[in-house]
Amino acid sequence: MKSLAELQAIKDKMKNKVILREGTNDIRVVVGMATCGIAAGARPVLNALVEEVNALGLMDTVTVSQTGCIGICEYEPVVEVFEAGKEKVTYVKVDVEKAKKIASEHLKGGNVVAEYTIKA
């Protein structure tokens, strides 16, 4: 059985990393999690992004966070990518597969997946 004591080990492991990480996250990924987003499938999209960012080793450069209604409910799930010095990218009608591709091609590779953006 898992016990709370295991968190002690996680804490010890993370302690050094936390210091390194501060202020190094320069890409911010935001998922709309209002009623509209949740009903359209934002929860699995968010969790896929969290998993992929970790699997691709992007924890130090990418932060995944949540927001309320972005205002374009008919395009949910919506994922916005903010990067310092670059124009915001808005991905629409995202699902788990699209989220994985956005993680590998855009967040890791630096290439916007144009076909999934609101402009496409």
The residues that touch other proteins, with contacts defined as CB under 8 A, are 1-2, 4-8, 10-11, 13-15, 18, 33-36, 38-39, 43-44, 46-47, 50, 54, 59, 64-66, 68-71, 73
Give the dihedral sign, CA 73/80/87/97.
negative
Beta-carbon contacts of residue 50 (< 8 Å; ≥ 6 apart):
64
Q: What are phi and psi of 82, to 5 degrees?
A: -110, 130
CB-wise, 65 or 115, nearer to other proteins? 65
CB-wise, 13 or 119, nearer to other proteins? 13
Closest distance between other proteins and the C-beta of residue 106, in Å?
20
CB-wise, 44 or 109, nearer to other proteins? 44
Cα R_g (the chain), whole angstroms: 16
Closest distance between other proteins and the C-beta of residue 119, in Å?
20
What are the C-alpha distances in Å from 109 to residues 30, 75, 77, 101?
A: 18, 25, 22, 10
Closest distance between other proteins and the C-beta of residue 13, in Å?
7
CB-wise, 96 or 112, nearer to other proteins? 96
**DSSP type of residue 117:** B
Closest distance between other proteins and the C-beta of residue 118, in Å?
15
